[in-house]
A = this chain, B = another copy of it.
Amino acid sequence: MVDITFLPSNKVVQLEVGTTILQAAISAGVQVESTCGGKGTCGKCKAQVMTEIPYLTSPTEKKFLNASELEAGWVLTCQHTLTQDMTIRLQEQKDVHQRKTDFAGVVHTALAPSVRKYFVTLTRPTVEDQTPDWDRLVSSLPAPQAIGFSRSVAATLPKVLRQGEFQLTAVLDGNRLLAVEPGDTVGRCFGVAIDIGTTTVVVYLMDLNKGTVVTSGAVTNPQQAFGADVISRITHASSGSDKLRELQEKVIGGLNGIISQLCQERGIRTEEIYQAVVVGNTTMAHLFLGIDPTYLAPAPFIPVFRQAVGVEARELGLNILGIGMVVVLPNVAGYVGSDTVGVMLATEADRLPGVSLIVDIGTNGEMILTGKDRLLTCSTAAGPAFEGAEIKYGMRAAEGAIEGVRITTDVELEVIGGGKARGICGSGLIDAIAEMFKVGVISPSGRYAFEPNQLEKLPPLVRDRVRKTERANEFVLVWAENSATGEDIVLSQKDIREMQLAKGAIMAGIMILVQEMGIVPQEIDRVLLAGAFGNYIKKESAVVIGLLPALPLERIHTIGNAAGDGAKMALLSMEERARADILAKMAEHIELSNRNEFQQEFIKGLDFKGDN
């Protein structure tokens, strides 16, 4: 066993010789960016070895690290195993998602949660009235006949009854008695709405009396260490029941971390959280519940379940009241999950007038086309391009990420946090490509301009940024002297191709839905962009690169984390929860892999065509 210390957190773990540094970091629970899951293909898991020990630089490292980095002791943590005690400095990552946000907003849902509190005063027992404690309590509650016996509540009931001098508060979830508390605690009644994304998990701590968000928090999905996309997570889970458990524990650990922190900040005990409503894509829901997702990956993409699932929190280890219900909203199909059902709830998809296209782009892209009494859904692997993976200088929307690009006489950037750029996130990428296309740096087919007649049309400062290297054609977004890393930040021809594949798949999905409904894209009355990502995209750029149909920009709206909003609504209202089941059943899922037209539409979708 050797000790490994991670800086800057100073976290120490003891592990066996032979463990990779990446695995050590995962064990220590410190954040390392890794989108390939340790395969050595993403080049993102950089760290600096602070201990003077001999090691060999691998060919993979030569590919991803420059000479000065190598000299300074930077390695890819997946490429080295532990041989002795060592200290490792990780790249500092201030994740914008980790900034705790305070919503004051009321979700516009009639407040009718399934969890209710009742303050009751009971008569004391006598030899003439030997009614058992349970019956004494229950007969004072609404619909006593329907209330089932709960061992764990009964276990503490006698003490609570007598501690509170026969005055107590009962917590009911429908007909389930969840807890008894001495005295009057009716004013304190909480729940959590949870959105489990492949990349980010978000928790909203809700006041069930008021229907408001008390506070919220988010972290990177700790499963990230096993790969950026759902397929690599499924592959890991399939390799053994302990691996499945590992993934489950990771995400629940992440959620518990947020919940503890939010509770501590607000002076709330975790046992005062009586219910959780969870949304996530189908794979995330399987992993969260510890249900084997193996057969979601190969055709015919079979999920284990589709319906809404209710499980006691203690069964999952989620840190709320042990017998509180964790409700995972229903999914539609293998790749259209409860997060999409949440989006349907939040947008009232079935009640929108005319024809609406709803697009939720994350690590996967889910599309809903609703109108003409139909609710069509499909999904495509959007590709991790939008999350920054598979793009050489790609990164998540964290501090130092380029999120906006304008090209006039030269390149102008918006960088998250306002400092020097470290890389580029999805919205920056879309902007950059749209701008490059508009000024002529790239052709409609996506190729860089190198012909003299193409180049001479470019402003001189822009022209200087187009270059051929021994490895690739590329465009320099940030010169080394202006970057946070001291190296040029570039977009390569391959990066452009990745984005083309991603947006081509999404556009093809949209076109299949449009055809299925028997309309043309111009008949779409509104486009709703869901997801944090949707909030940051410049609508014009999205249309320019052909990620969205060429529609008047005023028809395009961003709606934020609609999946999370749906979870909140289902937490606050039994009616909305019932509607989630109806929407999931109403939805007609179009399996794109089953459509001959898909390949054709996909190829059509690769080119850049510009706006109308």
Interface residues, chain A, with chain B CB atoms under 8 Å away = 125-135, 149, 151-152, 154-159, 162, 289-292, 294-295, 299-307, 309-311, 315, 333-334, 589, 591, 593-594
Min CB gap A201→B, angstroms:
19
CA distance A192 to B151 in the complex (A): 20
21 contacts between A and B (CB under 8 A): A126-B300, A127-B299, A127-B300, A127-B591, A127-B593, A127-B594, A129-B300, A130-B300, A130-B301, A130-B302, A133-B304, A134-B306, A149-B305, A149-B309, A151-B289, A155-B289, A155-B291, A156-B292, A158-B294, A158-B295, A159-B294
CB neighbours (8 Å) of A291 from chain B are 151, 154-155
Q: B295–A130 contact, CB under 8 A?
A: no
Kindly identify which residue among B162, B303, B311 contacts A133, using a CB–CB cutoff of 8 Å.
Answer: B303
Q: B132–A305 contact, CB under 8 A?
A: yes
Min CB gap A473→B, angstroms:
39
Min CB gap A311→B, angstroms:
5
CB neighbours (8 Å) of A307 from chain B are 134-135, 149
Given contacts A290-B151, A305-B154, A311-B151, contact A591 B300 (CB under 8 A): no
CB neighbours (8 Å) of A155 from chain B are 289-292
CA distance A135 to B129 in the complex (A): 49
CB neighbours (8 Å) of A125 from chain B are 300, 302
Min CB gap A563→B, angstroms:
21
CA distance A294 to B133 in the complex (A): 12
CA distance A402 to B483 in the complex (A): 96
CB neighbours (8 Å) of A589 from chain B are 130
Min CB gap A590→B, angstroms:
11
CA distance A290 to B157 in the complex (A): 12
CA distance A162 to B238 in the complex (A): 14
CA distance A158 to B128 in the complex (A): 57
Q: A157–B304 contact, CB under 8 A?
A: yes
CA distance A597 to B134 in the complex (A): 31
- Sample of 6 further A-B pairs with CB below 8 A, known A127-B301, A132-B302, A135-B305: A133-B295, A134-B306, A135-B307, A151-B289, A158-B295, A159-B292
CA distance A334 to B135 in the complex (A): 14
Which residue of B has the minimal Cβ distance to A302? B125
Min CB gap A587→B, angstroms:
13
Q: B309–A133 contact, CB under 8 A?
A: no
Give the residue among A128, A155, A157 with the most B Cβ atoms within 10 A: A155
CB neighbours (8 Å) of A299 from chain B are 127
Q: A304–B132 contact, CB under 8 A?
A: yes
CB neighbours (8 Å) of A132 from chain B are 302-306
Give the residue among A149, A307, A310, A315 with the most B Cβ atoms within 10 A: A149
CB neighbours (8 Å) of A591 from chain B are 127, 130
Give the residue among A127, A162, A305 with the most B Cβ atoms within 10 A: A305
Give the residue among A292, A294, A301 with the most B Cβ atoms within 10 A: A292
CA distance A162 to B132 in the complex (A): 49
Given contacts A149-B309, A159-B292, A290-B155, contact A333 B130 (CB under 8 A): yes
CA distance A70 to B300 in the complex (A): 80
CB neighbours (8 Å) of A304 from chain B are 132-134, 154, 157-158
Which residue of B has the minimal Cβ distance to A326? B151
Min CB gap A138→B, angstroms:
10
CB neighbours (8 Å) of A305 from chain B are 132-135, 149, 154
Which residue of B has the minimal Cβ distance to A244? B155
CB neighbours (8 Å) of A303 from chain B are 132-133
CB neighbours (8 Å) of A311 from chain B are 151
Min CB gap A287→B, angstroms:
11
CA distance A132 to B133 in the complex (A): 44
Min CB gap A285→B, angstroms:
11
CB neighbours (8 Å) of A157 from chain B are 292, 304
Q: B292–A158 contact, CB under 8 A?
A: yes
Which residue of B has the minimal Cβ distance to A156? B292
Min CB gap A139→B, angstroms:
12
Which residue of B has the minimal Cβ distance to A129? B300
CB neighbours (8 Å) of A333 from chain B are 130
Q: B133–A315 contact, CB under 8 A?
A: no
Which residue of B has the minimal Cβ distance to A299? B127
Which residue of B has the minimal Cβ distance to A334? B130
Which residue of B has the minimal Cβ distance to A149? B309
CB neighbours (8 Å) of A301 from chain B are 127, 130
CA distance A155 to B591 in the complex (A): 25
CA distance A301 to B125 in the complex (A): 9
Min CB gap A108→B, angstroms:
30
CA distance A315 to B151 in the complex (A): 9
Give the residue among A125, A132, A300, A309 with the most B Cβ atoms within 10 A: A132
Which residue of B has the minimal Cβ distance to A294? B158
**Closest 4 pairs between A and B when the two form their complex, measured CB to CB:** A127-B300, A134-B305, A132-B303, A132-B306
Give the residue among A300, A301, A304 with the most B Cβ atoms within 10 A: A304
CB neighbours (8 Å) of A334 from chain B are 130
CB neighbours (8 Å) of A128 from chain B are 594
Give the residue among A135, A290, A302, A303 with the most B Cβ atoms within 10 A: A302
CB neighbours (8 Å) of A152 from chain B are 315
Given contacts A126-B300, A292-B156, A594-B127, contact A151 B309 (CB under 8 A): yes
